[in-house]
Amino acid sequence: MSAPAPSGAPLELCGVELAGPVLNGSGTFDAIAARRTFGDALLEDFPFHAFVSKTITLAPRQGNAPPRLWEAPAGLINSIGLPNKGLEAFLREDLPELAELPVPLVVSVMGFSREELELLVSAAGARAEIAMIELNVSCPNVETGLVMGADPSETASAVERVRPVTDKPLIVKLTPNATDPRAVALAAEGAGADAVSLVNTLKGMALDPRTGCSWLGGGTGGVSGPAIRAVALEQVQAVSAAVGVPVVGMGGIENGRDAADFMLAGAACVAVGTESFRDPGAGRRVAAEVAAITAGAPEAAASTRAG
Amino acid sequence: MSYLPSPRGGDRRRTAGSHRASPAIVEADVALEAPPDAATAVIGAGRRTLAPFGRRLARVTANDGYGAYRLITLRDAAGPPDPRPGQFYMLATASGWGAEGGGRPYLPRAFSFCRVRSGGEPGQVTGTKPGETALDFLLEAIGPGTGRLARVAPDEEMWLTGPLGLGFSPPREGTRPVLVGGGIGVAPIVCLHDELAPSARVLLGFRSSAHADAVGLFGAGSLEPPRVATDDGSVGRHALVTELLREELDADPAATVYACGPPAMLEGVRAICAEREVSAELALEAGMACGFGACYGCVVPTRGGYVRLCVDGPVLAAAALETAAGPGAGH
């Protein structure tokens, strides 16, 4: 594809060349569904410099019972439950379509055991269409009952298990629902991760005003959007200061100013997530705005501190 | 009064209807759009008009009261002139979105378009130029999003993404179209009627006379005027619209039924049509964040598993559903 990427200064992330620093958060943009909706105009104006897939699991998953969404103050609570067609169907049906995107492809995977994770990484690692693999560790390890990404030693064990089976860059997606995300990031780095990305959603819930019971079919969900940006920025800053590997920062980024803040806090790249729900082309807009700020355009860099 | 199952309330806003004709529905499977038989093969391709990529600004040209509802007209200079009845758009105001208290509304809101017109043609819309598309949306203020939208002023700018989803397909050969609308769900029935008149029969149900003012949206194209039922008997028959549907199908079962309305009404329509083996398409509604398949939030259960209403709907074949009143339906 010779389509122009969104504006940005070329950079390398784990040895993969990107035309700029803006990715999508996993699970916040379905390029295949978007192409059905917008046609090939999507490819011509593709909003991201690299595309991150929705999380793939070994077996197909239907996802959680609806309702799955709740609008929160300046944000969203979702309880989607990782619906996906499973590794085999993903590789057979979706990967050829995703390979047509004009940017490098990152595939997100989640295993409910280290063995599952190894199978997923091994299979994804064997495919030339895939540039990088992101490990979604925000799930319980059924063997230990612990959320992998909430615990440094669980995270280290998971990364150690999959590190030998692929040469492709491994990004570990950190959860903010950990006592010490910095310690988890250091554990991931120590076990061989090439990068870390954060934050995933913050755990949250909402009550049905009519019944007083949980609104979401899944009981609890994850909060995203501007509501969590300050929390995300602090975690990105803390993790960036601790690790030597690149950091992909995200959490409520709406515009170039927000993205620039995450990069000033230490992120090498940023990801746009929930804002794409409001504006399908948000990634492209953020890329243009952050490029203007980086280039020193004075109006773009104007302080937003004043009240 | 009950449609069949216990009602979940009256009118629904955000009438994002969808439609699908495939017997085997698997989430995120593009094959879903493949028509199931030759009869719909010609039609299937025409159910989706592509949207320009991204959101765009559109200017409000009118905001008129229609009984309990507002009818908002937008000049969509950059949008396609031919969205399919049943397709929907995501709407948000360009300013003051998020200022209704409690940091809401945050997400755009999904609305089936009610009418589409072209500027510069007979009956042209004030404020549009030749070649520009004018879209009408019907809404009722029931929350922070619809509340803000109900107050838009002429000349105000709005964010618009669409048309989205799959619209209705043409009636089966040898049948007459029977259109059933309930409350705010009359919106996509109006443009479908514009397309199918004069052969269409229209059956409408409302809570009250203030809501029944929406009957005025239906032009004089049909051979017969819409038949109306109200919950309180203030206009038309003191009955549910499903009773009118039974009578209509008793008189002549050679029909293709199209319906949009509250989940309990849709479930009534589904059950009546299933019992009589009448083909039906239902425009459903679910809370949405994105409208283009990104968030997986708007799923409804079908016989083939969950489907995303925004890309595989909002119009679904009634035969694909065990119930139209599942959890998450409506809002």
DSSP assignment of A222-277, as one string? EEESGGGHHHHHHHHHHHHHH-SS-EEE-SS--SHHHHHHHHHTT-SEEEE-THHH
Measured between CB atoms, does B266 come within 8 Å of chain A?
no
Q: Do B106 and A75 touch (CB under 8 A)?
A: yes
Instruction: Please list every residue in chain B whose beta carbon sits closer than 8 Å to the beta carbon of residue A288.
Output: none
The whole-number pLDDT of residue B42 equals 36
- DSSP letters of B81-102? S-PPTT-EEEEEESSSTT-SST
Q: Do B306 and A66 touch (CB under 8 A)?
A: yes
The whole-number pLDDT of residue A168 equals 98
Chain B: give the shortest CA distance to residue A292, in Å. Answer: 21
The whole-number pLDDT of residue B182 equals 97
Q: Do B28 and A30 touch (CB under 8 A)?
A: yes
B71, B126 Cβ separation under 8 angstroms: no
The whole-number pLDDT of residue B11 equals 34
For testing contact with chain B, the best of A69, A214, A272, A275 (most B CBs within 10 A): A69
The whole-number pLDDT of residue B33 equals 40
The whole-number pLDDT of residue A303 equals 56
Chain A: give the shortest CA distance to residue B36, in Å. Answer: 19
Give the residue ranges of chain B where pLDDT is below 70.
1-45, 119-128, 327-331
The whole-number pLDDT of residue A301 equals 53
The whole-number pLDDT of residue A4 equals 54
pLDDT tier for residue A7 given thresholds of 50, 70 and 90 = confident
Q: What angle do CA B190, B195, B197 make, to 5 degrees?
A: 85
Q: Is the pLDDT at A298 greater than 80, yes or no?
A: no
What mean pLDDT, rounded, does chain A reach? Answer: 94
Q: Do B295 and A69 touch (CB under 8 A)?
A: yes
| Alpha-carbon span A265 to A260, nearest angstrom | 8
Measured between CB atoms, does A41 come within 8 Å of chain B?
yes
pLDDT digits (tens, 9 = 90+) for A256-295: 999 999 999 999 999 999 999 999 999 999 999 999 998 8
Minimum CA–CA partner of B163 in chain A: A37
Q: Which of A64, A74, A113 is nearest to A215 (CA)?
A: A64
For testing contact with chain A, the best of B57, B290, B303, B307 (most A CBs within 10 A): B290
* CB-closest option in B294, B301, B305 to A28: B294
Instruction: Please list every residue in chain B whose beta carbon sits closer than 8 Å to the beta carbon of residue A36.
Output: 30, 33, 48, 293, 311
The whole-number pLDDT of residue A304 equals 58
pLDDT digits (tens, 9 = 90+) for B99-127: 888 899 999 999 999 999 986 665 556 66
Q: What mean pLDDT do residues A242-251 have?
A: 98
Q: Do B33 and A36 touch (CB under 8 A)?
A: yes
CB half-sphere exposure, A229, CA atoms < 13 A:
22
Q: What angle do CA A38, A293, B98 make, to 5 degrees?
A: 60
For testing contact with chain B, the best of A36, A56, A210 (most B CBs within 10 A): A36
The whole-number pLDDT of residue B111 equals 98
pLDDT digits (tens, 9 = 90+) for A176-191: 999 999 999 999 999 9
Measured between CB atoms, does A42 come within 8 Å of chain B?
yes
For testing contact with chain A, the best of B53, B107, B309, B321 (most A CBs within 10 A): B53
Which of A2-16, A241-255, B12-26 has the weakest average pLDDT?
Answer: B12-26
The whole-number pLDDT of residue B26 equals 31
Q: Do A227 and B103 touch (CB under 8 A)?
A: yes
Q: Catalytic residue among A14, A139, A213, A269, which?
A: A139
* CB-closest option in A34, A66, A94 to B294: A34
* CB-closest option in A63, A76, A227 to B306: A63
For testing contact with chain B, the best of A55, A61, A278, A285 (most B CBs within 10 A): A278
Q: Do B53 and A78 touch (CB under 8 A)?
A: no
The whole-number pLDDT of residue B121 equals 60
pLDDT digits (tens, 9 = 90+) for A131-141: 999 999 987 77
Q: Which of B127, B102, B106, B108 is nearest to B117 (CA)?
A: B127
The whole-number pLDDT of residue B45 equals 55
Residues 186-245 (A) with a CB less than 8 A from some CB of B: 217, 225, 227
B288, B310 Cβ separation under 8 angstroms: yes
Minimum CA–CA partner of A283 in chain B: B54
* CB-closest option in B50, B286, B295 to A277: B295
Residue-wise burial string across B146-159, b where 16 or more C-beta atoms lie within 10 A, e elsewhere:
bbbbbebeeebebb
The whole-number pLDDT of residue A140 equals 72
Residue in the structure block whose two tokens are 């309305």:
B261
Amino acid identity, position A169: P
Measured between CB atoms, does A266 come within 8 Å of chain B?
no
* CB-closest option in A42, A63, A93 to B296: A63
Look up residue B265 and give its two tokens: 């009404």
Between A228 and A146, the higher pLDDT residue: A228
The whole-number pLDDT of residue A143 equals 77
Measured between CB atoms, does B143 come within 8 Å of chain A?
no
Q: Which of A281, A254, A287, A285 is nearest to A269 (CA)?
A: A287
- State ipTM: 0.94
E strands present in chain A: 11-13, 16-18, 22-24, 51-52, 69-72, 75-78, 105-109, 132-136, 170-173, 195-198, 202-204, 221-224, 247-249, 269-272
The whole-number pLDDT of residue B60 equals 97
Look up residue B240 and give its two tokens: 């549910």
Q: Do A37 and B286 touch (CB under 8 A)?
A: no
Residues 81-110 (B) with a CB less than 8 A from some CB of A: 92, 98, 102-108
Instruction: Please list every residue in chain B whose beta carbon sits closer than 8 Å to the beta carbon of residue A41.
Output: 50, 52-53
Q: Do B52 and A28 touch (CB under 8 A)?
A: no
**A213 tagged catalytic:** no
Measured between CB atoms, does A78 come within 8 Å of chain B?
yes
